[in-house]
Amino acid sequence: MDLLTSLKISASGLAANRKRMAAISSNIANAQTTRTAEGGPYRRKEVVFGSEPARDSFAEILEGELQEKAQTVHATDVISENRPPILKYEPNHPDANEQGYVAYPNVNVMEEMASMIEASRAYEANVTTINATKHMLRKALEIGR
């Protein structure tokens, strides 16, 4: 694999993890949202990752083959989970039903924080890879002098 392909793969990882961090942030921010525009409580969002071959030129795309079979990652979709809401008895709440229960999102803030740490570490790993690749490119240019 050449160094530019390495940069492309790491950059795709950065973009995918940025989208994952945005979804996690939204989940944490809306953990207590009982009413949305769609109706009902907020539904937890999850990012689905996919991979595709890392292609450098139009000719490689037309051929559909890559000698090294390197893959880039991308966020294919953001889905809303169908977890049932958590019902809490709060009869004075404006969103309470006839029985006095309020439907809160089934978002576990501790799980979201753990996911955010995981995504930030993956992001940091990609940044480290990019910096190492840049360092190797600089050293290769110095050899050529």
Name the amino acid, one letter, at 29: A
Instruction: Give rounded-to-5 percent helix, strand, coil for the chain.
Output: 45, 20, 35
Task: Return the pLDDT at 114.
Answer: 97
The closest alpha carbon to 36, from 88, 80, 98, 87, belongs to 80
Residue 7 has pLDDT above 50, yes or no: yes
Q: What is the pLDDT of residues 84-143, one digit of tens each?
A: 999 999 999 998 999 999 999 999 999 999 999 999 999 999 999 999 999 998 988 888
> Which long-range contacts does 78-81 make (Cβ < 8 Å, 24+ apart)?
78/19, 78/23, 78/45, 78/46, 78/47, 78/48, 79/45, 79/46, 79/48, 80/43, 80/44, 80/45, 80/46, 81/43, 81/44, 81/45, 81/46, 81/106
Where along the chain do its domains lie?
Answer: 3-143
Count Cβ atoms below 10 Å from residue 65 Cβ, excluding itself. Answer: 10
Give the C-alpha separation, 22 to 112, whole Å: 11
CA dist 128 to 39, 44, 80, 82, 125, Å?
43, 30, 32, 36, 5
List pLDDT tens digits, range 26-85: 999 999 999 998 888 999 999 999 887 665 555 655 555 545 566 788 888 898 888 899
| 3-class DSSP assignment, residue 57 | coil
